[in-house]
Amino acid sequence: MKSFMIQGAKILATGSAIPSSSTTNHDISTIVQTSDEWIFTRTGIKERRLLKGVDQSIIDLAVSASKKALDKIAMHPSQLDLVILATSSPDDLFGSASKIQSKIGASNAVAFDLTAACSGFVLSLVTASQFLYTGAYRNILVVGADTLSKWIDWSDRSTCILFGDAAAAVILQSCSIVDNSVLTFQLNSDGNYANHLSIAYETDIIPHPKLNLHQGYFKYISMNGKEVYKFAVFQVPLSILKCLNSLNMSIEEVDWLLLHQANERILNAIAEKLSISSKKIISNLCKYGNTSAASIPLALDEAIKQNKILSNDIIVIAGFGAGLTWGTVVLRW
């Protein structure tokens, strides 16, 4: 990777946006048979934000998060060269990134969607950094945004308790190699287990009468929770260790563990496997649930606002989810 680097990459600013109304575990218990106690003890989630009404969409959340990040560093949107939208719930299957590009006024940027479910932000961060390493681009906006509430079967208690809607953005800029803060990455996919977590397309059995053409529709989220849990706890520590080994970095040197916010028990189990103190885990999923591609930048933005992360801190970021896909990025802040 490093042999192609002519310059480094660093994160300049973050921003996030969440729907205004909160849906508690108690609210969920009025629509499916569950309880606050069951949800909290199995997942660590207390409440989530869901996009309600017809007047707001994933685009609005993504635009709001992006503008907050731009405002923090007083960057004019025309300075952006690229906009990457990590999402699995776009408003348009052809992609929603260009709508964000136009709404924020990033008139000089090319924009595309990147679909990798809950690993989408990690893959987008790595993708963005490659454009910066090679000198192709100078300023890149990466937005992780998902509104999975529209793909949830609200009568399925095994999935509807988990997810929330949100968007969060980071702005990356090229810098000299000595200031590079995206230190290394490690990415993986295993499509053999794609069925463990999917929003599958179902083809109609009856074809078009004249064309013999089968069309269809997307179904709700389906998930084998136990298998996804085992996969995350087994694979994510291996990916993190590969990254740390490649940097000759010890576990003790890690200041923050920022994992995809899927489940508090998964976060704790991964930290325990790595012998990382639970004090180093960044976690906010009790308030937002699993916000898919938004979860990591949302937690990052919040940790920065709380002044948790200091200059030069080592942050190990790992995403995992449908695909199955998982991966790690190590940052020096």
Nearer to ligand COA, 145 or 309 (CB): 145
Select 131 or 326, whichever has its Cβ closest to ligand COA: 326
Query: Residues 6 or more apart from 210 whose CB is under 8 A from it?
Result: none
Q: What residues contact residue 174 under an 8 Å CB cut-off, 6+ apart?
A: 7, 8, 9, 132, 135, 137, 138, 139
Q: How many residues bind ligand COA (CB under 6 A)?
A: 18
Of 66-125, which residues contact ligand COA (CB under 6 A)? 118
Continuous segment of H or E residues that includes residue 207: none
Q: Which of 212, 226, 279, 310 binds ligand COA (CB under 6 A)?
A: 226
Residue with tokens 């508090």: 264
Q: Tell me the residue type at 217.
A: Y
Return the bridge partners of 332, or none: 314
Verify binding: residue 157, ligand COA, rule CB under 6 A: yes
235 binds ligand COA (CB under 6 A): no
Phi-psi region of 7 (alpha: psi -120 to 50; beta: other; left: phi over 0): beta
Q: At 269, list the tokens.
A: 């189990």
* Contact residue for ligand COA among 58, 82, 228, 285 (CB under 6 A): 228
Q: Which stretch binds ligand COA (CB under 6 A): 2-10, 69-77, 131-139, 221-229?
A: 221-229
d(CA 61, CA 73): 19
Closest to 298 in 3D by CA, of 144, 148, 158: 144
> What is the smallest separation between the CB atom of 163 and ligand COA, expressed in angstroms?
8
Range 35-64, binding ligand COA (CB under 6 A): 38-39, 42-43
User: Nearest distance from residue 130's CB to ligand COA, in Å?
Assistant: 24
Q: How far is the CB of 104 from ligand COA (least distance, A)?
A: 28
Q: Sheet holding 325-332: strands in order across?
A: 182-189, 325-332, 314-321, 256-259
Contact between 289 and ligand COA (CB under 6 A)?
no
Catalytic residues: 118, 260, 290
Contacting positions for ligand COA (CB under 6 A):
34, 38-39, 42-43, 118, 157-158, 161, 223, 225-226, 228-229, 262-263, 290, 321
